[in-house]
Amino acid sequence: MTDIWEGGAISEAFAEAFENWATRNGGEMEASTEGQLFCEFPPTDYQIRMRVCLYEANGRHLLRFDTVREEVELKLLTKFETTDSKLILQSDKASRTFYLDVQAGEWRIEKRPVAQS
């Protein structure tokens, strides 16, 4: 997995990978700055509208994901990976992982306890 954030801003590697992933999967970029990436996947006959936003607010790095039925906000996700249709975001200690497969219209969050040292 690769870093999302670099010195408080969205890394160039993540911005490029995110925009390519969104475009490849029919997403429309609504904002792309060093502190925010925001895209919307319009509804189709096969999937509901989805919106994905990564941004920094009050010193925290956040993911916001909404559909018509659900709204999720996760803090401190720091690593990413993309595949053809999937976006995978993970916290630095892998205690939380967000998976979004746009083509399948499926998403999930996995939470695991962090081992105490």
| Domain of residue 102, CATH code | 2.40.10
Q: Is the pLDDT of residue 114 over 80?
A: no
Banded pLDDT at 30 (limits 50, 70, 90): very high
117 found inside a domain: no
pLDDT at 73 > cutoff 60: yes
Distances (CA, A) of 49 to 2, 30, 40, 93: 27, 14, 7, 31
The pLDDT score that the predictor gives to residue 110 is 92
Q: How many domains are contained in the chain?
A: 1
Q: Residue 94: which domain range?
A: 2-42+68-111
pLDDT, averaged across the chain = 89
Residue with tokens 């925009």: 19
| Within-domain flag for 57 | no
* pTM, 2 dp: 0.87
Q: Is residue 8 part of a domain?
A: yes
60 domain residue, yes or no: no
Distance, CA of 91 to CA of 74 (rounded, Å): 10
Residues 36, 56: contact at Cβ < 8 Å?
yes
Band of the pLDDT at 115, cuts 50, 70, 90?
Answer: low
pLDDT at 85 over 90: yes
Report yes or no on 59 lying in a domain.
no
Residue 53 lies in a domain: no
pLDDT, average across residues 58-72? 88
| Percent of the chain whose pLDDT exceeds 70 | 97
Query: Is 84 within a domain?
Result: yes
Within a domain: 52: no
